[in-house]
Structure 1
Amino acid sequence: MENQAELFGRIAAALEKLAPATPHAVDWQGAPAFVWAGDSARPVECIEAPALDLLRGIDRQKQVVTANVARLAKGAASHDMLLWGARGMGKSALLRASVADAQAAGGKLALVQVATDSIPSLPGLFAQLAGIERNFLVFIDDLGFAEGDDATPRHLRSWLDGGVEARPANVRLAVTSNRRAILARQASEQDDPINPRDAVDDNLALADRFGLSLGFHNANQEDYLEILRGYAAEYGLDLDEGEALEWSKRRGARSGRIAWHFITELAGRVGKQL
Protein backbone atom coordinates (compact mmCIF):
# COMPACT_ATOMS: atom_id res chain seq x y z
CA MET A 1 0.00 0.00 0.00
CA GLU A 2 2.86 2.33 0.77
CA ASN A 3 4.37 1.82 -2.70
CA GLN A 4 0.95 2.44 -4.27
CA ALA A 5 0.54 5.73 -2.38
CA GLU A 6 3.99 6.79 -3.54
CA LEU A 7 3.07 5.94 -7.13
CA PHE A 8 -0.15 7.96 -6.93
CA GLY A 9 1.80 10.86 -5.51
CA ARG A 10 4.25 10.82 -8.43
CA ILE A 11 1.35 10.66 -10.91
CA ALA A 12 -0.37 13.63 -9.26
CA ALA A 13 2.86 15.65 -9.33
CA ALA A 14 3.38 14.86 -13.01
CA LEU A 15 -0.17 15.89 -13.89
CA GLU A 16 0.24 19.13 -11.99
CA LYS A 17 3.33 19.96 -14.07
CA LEU A 18 1.42 19.26 -17.30
CA ALA A 19 -1.52 21.48 -16.33
CA PRO A 20 -1.38 25.02 -17.72
CA ALA A 21 -0.23 27.58 -15.23
CA THR A 22 -2.87 29.83 -13.74
CA PRO A 23 -2.37 33.35 -15.11
CA HIS A 24 -1.05 35.72 -12.48
CA ALA A 25 -3.13 38.74 -11.58
CA VAL A 26 -1.85 41.82 -13.39
CA ASP A 27 -0.80 44.87 -11.41
CA TRP A 28 -2.26 47.45 -13.78
CA GLN A 29 -0.76 50.25 -11.68
CA GLY A 30 2.75 48.83 -11.71
CA ALA A 31 4.19 49.69 -15.13
CA PRO A 32 4.00 52.41 -17.79
CA ALA A 33 3.00 49.93 -20.49
CA PHE A 34 1.76 46.39 -20.99
CA VAL A 35 1.52 43.82 -23.77
CA TRP A 36 -1.80 41.96 -23.82
CA ALA A 37 -1.46 38.33 -24.92
CA GLY A 38 -5.11 37.31 -25.11
CA ASP A 39 -5.62 36.11 -21.54
CA SER A 40 -2.93 37.91 -19.55
CA ALA A 41 -0.64 40.91 -19.75
CA ARG A 42 3.10 41.34 -19.51
CA PRO A 43 4.37 44.59 -17.95
CA VAL A 44 6.86 46.71 -19.90
CA GLU A 45 9.14 48.75 -17.66
CA CYS A 46 10.03 51.45 -20.17
CA ILE A 47 8.26 52.85 -23.23
CA GLU A 48 10.76 52.97 -26.09
CA ALA A 49 9.95 56.13 -28.04
CA PRO A 50 11.81 59.06 -29.59
CA ALA A 51 11.52 62.48 -28.04
CA LEU A 52 8.57 64.37 -29.50
CA ASP A 53 10.90 67.10 -30.78
CA LEU A 54 12.60 64.53 -33.03
CA LEU A 55 9.34 63.61 -34.78
CA ARG A 56 9.39 66.10 -37.63
CA GLY A 57 7.38 66.53 -40.79
CA ILE A 58 4.18 65.57 -38.94
CA ASP A 59 3.62 68.75 -36.94
CA ARG A 60 -0.18 68.88 -37.25
CA GLN A 61 -0.60 65.19 -36.42
CA LYS A 62 1.74 65.56 -33.45
CA GLN A 63 -0.20 68.50 -32.07
CA VAL A 64 -3.55 66.72 -32.33
CA VAL A 65 -2.40 63.35 -30.96
CA THR A 66 -0.46 64.75 -28.00
CA ALA A 67 -3.40 66.96 -27.01
CA ASN A 68 -5.84 64.04 -27.17
CA VAL A 69 -3.55 61.73 -25.18
CA ALA A 70 -3.03 64.46 -22.57
CA ARG A 71 -6.80 64.72 -22.13
CA LEU A 72 -7.09 60.97 -21.66
CA ALA A 73 -4.28 61.06 -19.09
CA LYS A 74 -6.24 63.66 -17.11
CA GLY A 75 -9.48 61.69 -17.31
CA ALA A 76 -11.11 64.31 -19.56
CA ALA A 77 -13.19 63.57 -22.67
CA SER A 78 -10.96 62.19 -25.41
CA HIS A 79 -11.22 60.39 -28.74
CA ASP A 80 -10.42 56.97 -30.10
CA MET A 81 -7.76 57.45 -32.80
CA LEU A 82 -7.06 56.01 -36.23
CA LEU A 83 -3.63 56.91 -37.59
CA TRP A 84 -3.37 55.84 -41.20
CA GLY A 85 -1.10 56.35 -44.17
CA ALA A 86 2.45 55.94 -45.39
CA ARG A 87 4.75 53.40 -43.78
CA GLY A 88 7.60 54.67 -41.66
CA MET A 89 6.18 58.15 -41.05
CA GLY A 90 5.96 57.85 -37.28
CA LYS A 91 2.40 56.68 -36.56
CA SER A 92 3.24 54.20 -33.81
CA ALA A 93 6.26 56.21 -32.63
CA LEU A 94 4.02 59.25 -32.14
CA LEU A 95 1.55 57.26 -30.04
CA ARG A 96 4.29 55.86 -27.81
CA ALA A 97 6.00 59.23 -27.47
CA SER A 98 2.71 60.95 -26.62
CA VAL A 99 1.99 58.47 -23.84
CA ALA A 100 5.51 58.83 -22.44
CA ASP A 101 5.16 62.61 -22.53
CA ALA A 102 1.79 62.50 -20.74
CA GLN A 103 3.24 60.19 -18.08
CA ALA A 104 6.20 62.53 -17.55
CA ALA A 105 3.69 65.33 -16.96
CA GLY A 106 2.08 63.30 -14.18
CA GLY A 107 -0.85 61.83 -16.08
CA LYS A 108 -2.42 58.60 -14.79
CA LEU A 109 -2.08 56.75 -18.08
CA ALA A 110 -0.72 53.44 -19.34
CA LEU A 111 -0.24 52.04 -22.83
CA VAL A 112 -1.55 48.54 -23.57
CA GLN A 113 -0.40 47.05 -26.87
CA VAL A 114 -2.59 44.34 -28.37
CA ALA A 115 -1.47 42.13 -31.25
CA THR A 116 -3.94 41.82 -34.10
CA ASP A 117 -4.44 38.12 -33.41
CA SER A 118 -5.53 38.98 -29.84
CA ILE A 119 -8.30 41.37 -30.92
CA PRO A 120 -11.09 38.82 -30.18
CA SER A 121 -10.00 38.86 -26.52
CA LEU A 122 -10.53 42.62 -26.09
CA PRO A 123 -13.74 42.20 -24.02
CA GLY A 124 -11.70 40.31 -21.43
CA LEU A 125 -9.13 43.10 -21.38
CA PHE A 126 -11.84 45.75 -21.07
CA ALA A 127 -13.37 43.88 -18.13
CA GLN A 128 -10.06 44.02 -16.27
CA LEU A 129 -9.31 47.66 -17.06
CA ALA A 130 -12.79 48.91 -16.16
CA GLY A 131 -12.18 48.51 -12.45
CA ILE A 132 -8.75 50.20 -12.36
CA GLU A 133 -8.27 53.79 -11.21
CA ARG A 134 -6.08 54.62 -14.15
CA ASN A 135 -6.62 55.56 -17.79
CA PHE A 136 -5.47 53.32 -20.63
CA LEU A 137 -4.68 53.74 -24.29
CA VAL A 138 -5.17 50.36 -25.97
CA PHE A 139 -2.92 50.29 -29.01
CA ILE A 140 -3.36 48.03 -32.07
CA ASP A 141 -0.49 48.48 -34.53
CA ASP A 142 -0.68 47.87 -38.29
CA LEU A 143 -4.28 46.68 -38.31
CA GLY A 144 -5.52 44.74 -41.29
CA PHE A 145 -8.08 41.98 -41.51
CA ALA A 146 -7.64 38.54 -42.99
CA GLU A 147 -9.62 38.12 -46.16
CA GLY A 148 -13.13 36.96 -45.36
CA ASP A 149 -12.93 38.16 -41.75
CA ASP A 150 -16.22 39.97 -41.25
CA ALA A 151 -16.49 39.37 -37.50
CA THR A 152 -13.52 41.45 -36.33
CA PRO A 153 -14.61 44.69 -38.05
CA ARG A 154 -18.13 44.25 -36.64
CA HIS A 155 -16.78 43.74 -33.13
CA LEU A 156 -14.52 46.77 -33.40
CA ARG A 157 -17.44 48.93 -34.53
CA SER A 158 -19.43 47.73 -31.55
CA TRP A 159 -16.60 48.36 -29.08
CA LEU A 160 -16.09 51.85 -30.46
CA ASP A 161 -19.72 52.83 -30.74
CA GLY A 162 -21.43 51.77 -27.54
CA GLY A 163 -22.29 48.11 -27.93
CA VAL A 164 -22.95 45.98 -24.87
CA GLU A 165 -19.20 45.18 -24.71
CA ALA A 166 -18.01 48.70 -25.54
CA ARG A 167 -14.71 49.80 -24.12
CA PRO A 168 -15.06 51.36 -20.62
CA ALA A 169 -14.88 55.08 -19.93
CA ASN A 170 -11.23 54.96 -18.81
CA VAL A 171 -10.10 53.27 -22.04
CA ARG A 172 -9.56 54.61 -25.55
CA LEU A 173 -8.43 52.75 -28.65
CA ALA A 174 -5.58 53.84 -30.92
CA VAL A 175 -5.15 51.98 -34.19
CA THR A 176 -2.55 52.36 -36.94
CA SER A 177 -3.15 51.19 -40.48
CA ASN A 178 -1.69 51.77 -43.91
CA ARG A 179 -5.04 52.94 -45.29
CA ARG A 180 -8.00 54.79 -43.83
CA ALA A 181 -10.43 52.12 -45.01
CA ILE A 182 -8.87 49.33 -42.95
CA LEU A 183 -8.86 46.70 -45.69
CA ALA A 184 -8.26 42.99 -45.87
CA ARG A 185 -4.59 41.96 -45.87
CA GLN A 186 -4.69 40.29 -49.28
CA ALA A 187 -6.57 42.40 -51.79
CA SER A 188 -9.65 44.53 -51.41
CA GLU A 189 -10.22 44.27 -55.13
CA GLN A 190 -11.41 40.70 -54.60
CA ASP A 191 -14.51 41.89 -52.78
CA ASP A 192 -17.87 40.95 -54.24
CA PRO A 193 -17.80 42.40 -57.79
CA ILE A 194 -21.59 42.61 -57.90
CA ASN A 195 -21.65 45.48 -55.43
CA PRO A 196 -18.05 46.48 -54.54
CA ARG A 197 -19.24 49.77 -53.07
CA ASP A 198 -20.85 47.89 -50.18
CA ALA A 199 -17.45 46.50 -49.15
CA VAL A 200 -15.84 49.95 -49.26
CA ASP A 201 -18.70 51.52 -47.30
CA ASP A 202 -18.47 48.77 -44.68
CA ASN A 203 -14.76 49.41 -44.15
CA LEU A 204 -15.26 53.17 -44.00
CA ALA A 205 -18.05 52.64 -41.48
CA LEU A 206 -15.38 51.30 -39.12
CA ALA A 207 -12.99 54.19 -39.85
CA ASP A 208 -15.77 56.67 -39.15
CA ARG A 209 -16.21 55.30 -35.62
CA PHE A 210 -12.92 56.91 -34.58
CA GLY A 211 -13.25 60.44 -33.23
CA LEU A 212 -9.84 61.27 -34.70
CA SER A 213 -8.69 60.00 -38.09
CA LEU A 214 -5.30 61.41 -39.12
CA GLY A 215 -3.48 60.76 -42.38
CA PHE A 216 0.31 60.44 -42.63
CA HIS A 217 1.88 61.00 -46.03
CA ASN A 218 5.25 60.33 -47.60
CA ALA A 219 7.87 62.93 -46.75
CA ASN A 220 8.96 65.38 -49.37
CA GLN A 221 12.67 66.06 -49.76
CA GLU A 222 12.77 68.99 -47.34
CA ASP A 223 10.79 67.13 -44.66
CA TYR A 224 13.12 64.14 -45.02
CA LEU A 225 16.19 66.34 -44.60
CA GLU A 226 14.62 68.17 -41.66
CA ILE A 227 14.06 64.83 -39.90
CA LEU A 228 17.72 63.97 -40.50
CA ARG A 229 18.93 67.34 -39.22
CA GLY A 230 17.06 66.84 -35.98
CA TYR A 231 18.54 63.39 -35.40
CA ALA A 232 22.04 64.51 -36.40
CA ALA A 233 21.94 67.43 -33.97
CA GLU A 234 20.56 65.23 -31.17
CA TYR A 235 23.31 62.63 -31.50
CA GLY A 236 26.20 64.89 -32.54
CA LEU A 237 26.64 63.40 -36.01
CA ASP A 238 27.99 65.05 -39.15
CA LEU A 239 25.33 64.98 -41.85
CA ASP A 240 26.11 64.87 -45.56
CA GLU A 241 22.74 65.77 -47.07
CA GLY A 242 23.75 64.65 -50.56
CA GLU A 243 24.63 61.20 -49.25
CA ALA A 244 21.38 61.15 -47.26
CA LEU A 245 19.38 61.81 -50.42
CA GLU A 246 21.27 59.10 -52.27
CA TRP A 247 20.48 56.71 -49.40
CA SER A 248 16.76 57.41 -49.79
CA LYS A 249 16.93 56.92 -53.56
CA ARG A 250 18.49 53.50 -53.10
CA ARG A 251 15.70 52.62 -50.66
CA GLY A 252 13.04 53.94 -53.01
CA ALA A 253 11.35 56.09 -50.36
CA ARG A 254 11.69 59.10 -48.07
CA SER A 255 10.32 58.60 -44.57
CA GLY A 256 11.18 58.94 -40.93
CA ARG A 257 12.13 55.27 -40.84
CA ILE A 258 14.52 55.60 -43.78
CA ALA A 259 16.03 58.68 -42.11
CA TRP A 260 16.58 56.71 -38.91
CA HIS A 261 18.29 53.91 -40.82
CA PHE A 262 20.71 56.46 -42.29
CA ILE A 263 21.37 57.94 -38.83
CA THR A 264 22.08 54.43 -37.55
CA GLU A 265 24.59 54.02 -40.38
CA LEU A 266 26.30 57.31 -39.50
CA ALA A 267 26.48 56.44 -35.81
CA GLY A 268 27.88 53.01 -36.55
CA ARG A 269 30.67 54.47 -38.69
CA VAL A 270 31.96 56.60 -35.81
CA GLY A 271 31.39 53.99 -33.13
CA LYS A 272 28.47 55.68 -31.37
CA GLN A 273 25.53 54.03 -29.70
CA LEU A 274 22.01 55.36 -30.20
Structure 2
Amino acid sequence: MAFGKTGIDWRSTVAAVWRSNRHYLKPIVNVDLVDPESLLGIEEQKNAIYKNTENFLRGKASNHVLLWGARGVGKSSLIKAVLTRYHVYGLRMIQIPRDDLHLLQDITDDLHDNQHKFIVFCDDLSFDDGQCDHRQLKGMMEGNLEKPPANILIYATSNRRYLMSNTGVTANLTGKCDEAQDERLSLADRFGLTLNFAPMDEAVYLQIVDRLFKGRGIDPNTLHEEALRFATERGDKSGRIARQFYNHSMI
Protein backbone atom coordinates (compact mmCIF):
# COMPACT_ATOMS: atom_id res chain seq x y z
CA MET A 1 0.00 0.00 0.00
CA ALA A 2 1.32 3.42 -0.95
CA PHE A 3 1.27 6.34 1.48
CA GLY A 4 0.98 9.91 0.21
CA LYS A 5 1.82 11.22 -3.25
CA THR A 6 5.35 9.87 -3.03
CA GLY A 7 3.99 6.34 -3.35
CA ILE A 8 6.42 5.15 -0.69
CA ASP A 9 5.56 3.05 2.33
CA TRP A 10 7.94 4.61 4.85
CA ARG A 11 7.25 1.87 7.36
CA SER A 12 9.36 -0.53 5.27
CA THR A 13 11.51 1.96 3.34
CA VAL A 14 14.35 3.68 5.21
CA ALA A 15 15.77 5.80 2.40
CA ALA A 16 14.95 7.23 -1.01
CA VAL A 17 16.73 9.24 -3.67
CA TRP A 18 15.36 11.87 -6.02
CA ARG A 19 15.78 10.87 -9.68
CA SER A 20 16.01 14.00 -11.79
CA ASN A 21 15.40 12.53 -15.24
CA ARG A 22 12.32 10.55 -14.20
CA HIS A 23 11.22 13.24 -11.75
CA TYR A 24 10.28 10.94 -8.93
CA LEU A 25 11.37 9.79 -5.50
CA LYS A 26 12.85 6.31 -5.79
CA PRO A 27 12.87 3.98 -2.76
CA ILE A 28 16.36 2.58 -2.15
CA VAL A 29 16.33 -1.18 -1.83
CA ASN A 30 20.04 -1.71 -1.18
CA VAL A 31 20.85 1.07 1.30
CA ASP A 32 24.52 1.80 1.98
CA LEU A 33 24.34 1.51 5.78
CA VAL A 34 27.82 2.50 6.91
CA ASP A 35 29.05 0.94 10.15
CA PRO A 36 29.63 3.82 12.61
CA GLU A 37 32.52 1.90 14.18
CA SER A 38 34.37 1.94 10.87
CA LEU A 39 34.72 5.74 10.97
CA LEU A 40 37.96 6.59 12.76
CA GLY A 41 39.48 9.88 13.81
CA ILE A 42 36.20 11.82 13.92
CA GLU A 43 34.83 11.00 17.37
CA GLU A 44 33.99 14.60 18.22
CA GLN A 45 31.99 15.03 15.03
CA LYS A 46 30.22 11.70 15.56
CA ASN A 47 29.16 12.60 19.09
CA ALA A 48 27.86 16.01 18.02
CA ILE A 49 25.75 14.72 15.14
CA TYR A 50 24.44 11.80 17.22
CA LYS A 51 23.28 14.17 19.96
CA ASN A 52 21.59 16.45 17.42
CA THR A 53 19.86 13.51 15.74
CA GLU A 54 18.68 12.07 19.04
CA ASN A 55 17.20 15.43 20.01
CA PHE A 56 15.45 15.53 16.64
CA LEU A 57 13.94 12.07 17.12
CA ARG A 58 12.75 12.99 20.62
CA GLY A 59 11.08 16.18 19.42
CA LYS A 60 13.62 18.38 21.20
CA ALA A 61 15.44 21.40 19.78
CA SER A 62 17.78 20.35 16.95
CA ASN A 63 19.63 21.96 14.09
CA HIS A 64 20.30 21.59 10.40
CA VAL A 65 23.86 20.29 10.04
CA LEU A 66 26.69 21.24 7.70
CA LEU A 67 29.69 18.91 7.59
CA TRP A 68 32.54 20.70 5.85
CA GLY A 69 36.25 20.38 5.30
CA ALA A 70 38.80 18.05 3.78
CA ARG A 71 37.88 15.53 1.10
CA GLY A 72 37.54 11.83 1.77
CA VAL A 73 37.68 11.95 5.57
CA GLY A 74 34.17 10.69 6.32
CA LYS A 75 31.64 13.51 5.92
CA SER A 76 29.21 11.63 3.69
CA SER A 77 29.92 8.33 5.43
CA LEU A 78 29.03 9.86 8.79
CA ILE A 79 25.59 10.91 7.51
CA LYS A 80 25.06 7.37 6.22
CA ALA A 81 26.15 6.06 9.62
CA VAL A 82 23.50 8.25 11.25
CA LEU A 83 20.88 6.37 9.21
CA THR A 84 22.46 3.05 10.21
CA ARG A 85 22.29 3.97 13.87
CA TYR A 86 18.82 5.49 14.01
CA HIS A 87 16.58 4.06 11.28
CA VAL A 88 15.22 1.52 13.77
CA TYR A 89 13.94 4.49 15.79
CA GLY A 90 11.94 5.89 12.89
CA LEU A 91 14.56 7.99 11.13
CA ARG A 92 14.28 8.13 7.35
CA MET A 93 16.55 9.76 4.78
CA ILE A 94 16.05 11.35 1.37
CA GLN A 95 18.98 12.29 -0.84
CA ILE A 96 18.45 15.18 -3.22
CA PRO A 97 21.09 16.30 -5.75
CA ARG A 98 22.28 19.87 -5.47
CA ASP A 99 20.95 20.72 -8.92
CA ASP A 100 17.40 19.81 -7.83
CA LEU A 101 17.26 21.87 -4.67
CA HIS A 102 14.76 24.19 -6.34
CA LEU A 103 12.30 21.27 -6.05
CA LEU A 104 13.00 20.64 -2.37
CA GLN A 105 9.81 22.08 -0.96
CA ASP A 106 7.65 20.30 -3.53
CA ILE A 107 9.38 16.99 -2.81
CA THR A 108 8.92 17.28 0.94
CA ASP A 109 5.41 18.78 1.04
CA ASP A 110 3.86 15.34 1.45
CA LEU A 111 6.11 14.45 4.39
CA HIS A 112 5.07 17.13 6.86
CA ASP A 113 2.37 15.03 8.50
CA ASN A 114 4.23 11.74 8.32
CA GLN A 115 4.90 9.97 11.62
CA HIS A 116 8.56 9.46 10.71
CA LYS A 117 11.41 11.94 11.04
CA PHE A 118 13.25 12.76 7.82
CA ILE A 119 16.75 13.94 7.09
CA VAL A 120 17.24 15.48 3.66
CA PHE A 121 20.80 14.62 2.63
CA CYS A 122 22.56 16.89 0.14
CA ASP A 123 26.10 15.83 -0.72
CA ASP A 124 28.77 18.26 -1.92
CA LEU A 125 26.72 21.39 -1.37
CA SER A 126 28.40 24.42 -2.92
CA PHE A 127 27.48 27.17 -5.32
CA ASP A 128 29.39 28.99 -8.01
CA ASP A 129 28.73 32.54 -9.09
CA GLY A 130 25.38 32.96 -10.78
CA GLN A 131 23.71 29.94 -9.16
CA CYS A 132 20.49 30.65 -7.28
CA ASP A 133 19.36 27.17 -6.21
CA HIS A 134 20.36 27.97 -2.64
CA ARG A 135 17.38 30.30 -2.22
CA GLN A 136 14.87 27.44 -2.14
CA LEU A 137 16.93 25.63 0.47
CA LYS A 138 17.29 28.79 2.52
CA GLY A 139 13.54 29.38 2.42
CA MET A 140 12.71 25.90 3.66
CA MET A 141 15.21 26.08 6.51
CA GLU A 142 14.09 29.49 7.70
CA GLY A 143 12.53 32.55 6.19
CA ASN A 144 9.24 31.53 4.58
CA LEU A 145 5.83 32.57 5.81
CA GLU A 146 5.12 28.85 6.25
CA LYS A 147 6.58 27.41 9.43
CA PRO A 148 9.43 24.93 8.76
CA PRO A 149 8.31 21.28 9.13
CA ALA A 150 9.12 19.86 12.55
CA ASN A 151 9.92 16.40 11.15
CA ILE A 152 12.49 17.42 8.50
CA LEU A 153 16.12 18.47 8.90
CA ILE A 154 18.83 19.18 6.31
CA TYR A 155 22.17 17.41 6.65
CA ALA A 156 24.66 18.58 4.01
CA THR A 157 28.32 18.10 3.19
CA SER A 158 30.63 20.57 1.53
CA ASN A 159 34.33 21.16 1.03
CA ARG A 160 33.60 24.85 1.62
CA ARG A 161 32.61 26.38 4.95
CA TYR A 162 30.65 29.20 3.33
CA LEU A 163 29.38 27.13 0.36
CA MET A 164 31.18 29.26 -2.20
CA SER A 165 34.56 29.62 -3.87
CA ASN A 166 37.52 31.12 -2.07
CA THR A 167 37.19 34.13 -4.35
CA GLY A 168 33.69 34.75 -3.03
CA VAL A 169 34.81 34.43 0.59
CA THR A 170 37.69 36.87 0.04
CA ALA A 171 35.37 39.36 -1.61
CA ASN A 172 32.99 39.18 1.32
CA LEU A 173 35.71 39.68 3.90
CA THR A 174 37.00 42.75 2.03
CA GLY A 175 33.56 44.31 1.80
CA LYS A 176 33.11 43.57 -1.91
CA CYS A 177 30.47 40.90 -1.59
CA ASP A 178 27.71 40.98 -4.20
CA GLU A 179 24.09 40.08 -3.50
CA ALA A 180 24.47 36.41 -4.58
CA GLN A 181 27.46 35.89 -2.29
CA ASP A 182 25.62 37.49 0.59
CA GLU A 183 22.70 35.10 -0.01
CA ARG A 184 25.03 32.12 0.20
CA LEU A 185 26.55 33.36 3.45
CA SER A 186 23.02 33.77 4.75
CA LEU A 187 22.31 30.13 3.83
CA ALA A 188 25.45 28.93 5.62
CA ASP A 189 24.29 30.76 8.74
CA ARG A 190 21.10 28.69 8.78
CA PHE A 191 23.03 25.53 9.61
CA GLY A 192 22.90 25.69 13.40
CA LEU A 193 25.48 22.91 13.72
CA THR A 194 28.63 23.10 11.61
CA LEU A 195 31.21 20.33 11.93
CA ASN A 196 34.73 20.82 10.62
CA PHE A 197 36.71 17.87 9.21
CA ALA A 198 40.46 18.43 9.15
CA PRO A 199 42.80 16.56 6.80
CA MET A 200 43.49 13.06 8.07
CA ASP A 201 46.80 12.44 9.78
CA GLU A 202 49.04 9.48 9.03
CA ALA A 203 48.23 7.54 12.20
CA VAL A 204 44.47 7.53 11.54
CA TYR A 205 45.05 6.64 7.89
CA LEU A 206 47.08 3.60 8.91
CA GLN A 207 44.47 2.61 11.50
CA ILE A 208 41.88 2.49 8.74
CA VAL A 209 44.24 0.45 6.56
CA ASP A 210 44.80 -2.00 9.43
CA ARG A 211 41.04 -2.35 9.92
CA LEU A 212 40.45 -3.03 6.23
CA PHE A 213 43.19 -5.66 6.05
CA LYS A 214 42.39 -7.30 9.38
CA GLY A 215 42.75 -11.08 9.18
CA ARG A 216 44.65 -11.02 5.89
CA GLY A 217 47.90 -12.12 7.50
CA ILE A 218 49.98 -9.35 5.90
CA ASP A 219 53.12 -8.11 7.64
CA PRO A 220 52.14 -4.76 9.25
CA ASN A 221 55.38 -2.98 8.31
CA THR A 222 55.10 -4.02 4.69
CA LEU A 223 51.43 -3.10 4.64
CA HIS A 224 52.07 0.35 6.06
CA GLU A 225 54.92 1.03 3.64
CA GLU A 226 52.74 0.14 0.66
CA ALA A 227 49.77 2.09 2.02
CA LEU A 228 51.87 5.22 2.54
CA ARG A 229 53.42 4.88 -0.91
CA PHE A 230 49.94 4.57 -2.41
CA ALA A 231 48.78 7.70 -0.54
CA THR A 232 51.87 9.68 -1.59
CA GLU A 233 51.19 8.87 -5.25
CA ARG A 234 47.69 10.33 -4.86
CA GLY A 235 48.79 13.31 -2.83
CA ASP A 236 46.48 12.67 0.11
CA LYS A 237 45.73 10.49 3.12
CA SER A 238 42.08 9.76 3.82
CA GLY A 239 39.58 7.01 4.45
CA ARG A 240 38.70 7.12 0.77
CA ILE A 241 42.34 6.62 -0.23
CA ALA A 242 42.63 3.75 2.28
CA ARG A 243 39.66 1.98 0.69
CA GLN A 244 41.10 2.57 -2.77
CA PHE A 245 44.37 1.05 -1.60
CA TYR A 246 42.51 -1.96 -0.25
CA ASN A 247 40.60 -2.45 -3.53
CA HIS A 248 43.81 -2.03 -5.52
CA SER A 249 45.59 -4.63 -3.39
CA MET A 250 42.76 -7.15 -3.82
CA ILE A 251 42.91 -7.07 -7.62
- Higher alpha-carbon Rg: 1
Partner of 2:53: 69
Aligned to 1:115: 97
- For 2:111 and 2:148, the matched residues in 1 are separated by 9
The reply to whether residue 263 of structure 1 matches residue 240 of structure 2 is no
- Unpaired runs of 5+ residues, structure 2, are none
Looking at structure 1, the residues matched to 36 and 169 of structure 2 have their Cα atoms a distance apart, in angstroms, of: 38
Contact in 2 for aligned 1:160/1:166 (Cα 8 Å): no
TM-score under structure 2 length normalisation: 0.85
Choose 157-166 or 217-226, whichever is displaced more. 157-166
Distance of 1:210 and 1:109 partners within structure 2: 20
**One-letter code aligned to 2:54:** A
User: Out of 189, 213, 219, which is 1:232 matched to?
Assistant: 213
Q: How many residues align?
A: 241
Equivalent residue for 1:85, pick from 38, 59, 69: 69
Match of 2:192 in 1: 211
Q: How does 1:97-176 map to 2 (within 5 A)?
A: 97-103=81-87, 106-149=88-131, 151-165=132-146, 167-176=148-157
Identity %: 32
Unaligned segments of structure 1, at least 5 residues: 1-22, 270-274
SS in 2 for 1:196: coil
In structure 2, do the counterparts of structure 1 residues 256 and 71 end up closer, same or farther at CA, with 3 Å as the change threshold?
A: same
Give the letter for the 2:176 counterpart.
P
Per the alignment, residue 196 of structure 1 pairs with 176
Letter of the 2:213 partner, please give it.
Answer: A
Superimposed CA distance per residue, residues 192-248 of structure 1 (whole angstroms, 9 cap, x where no aligned partner): 9x9524565543322111111011111111121122222223x64635111111110
Q: Deviation at 1:131?
A: 1.9
Q: With the length of structure 1 as denominator, give the TM-score of the two structures.
A: 0.78
The CA deviation at 1:167 is 3.8
8 A Cα contact 1:158 1:165, kept in partner: no
Q: Which residue of 2 aligns with 1:60?
A: 44
Q: Indicate the RMSD between aligned Cα atoms, in angstroms.
A: 2.7
Compute the displacement of 1:115 (Å).
Answer: 0.8
- Alignment-derived partner of residue 33 in structure 1: 15
1:74–1:107: 8 Å Cα contact kept in structure 2? no
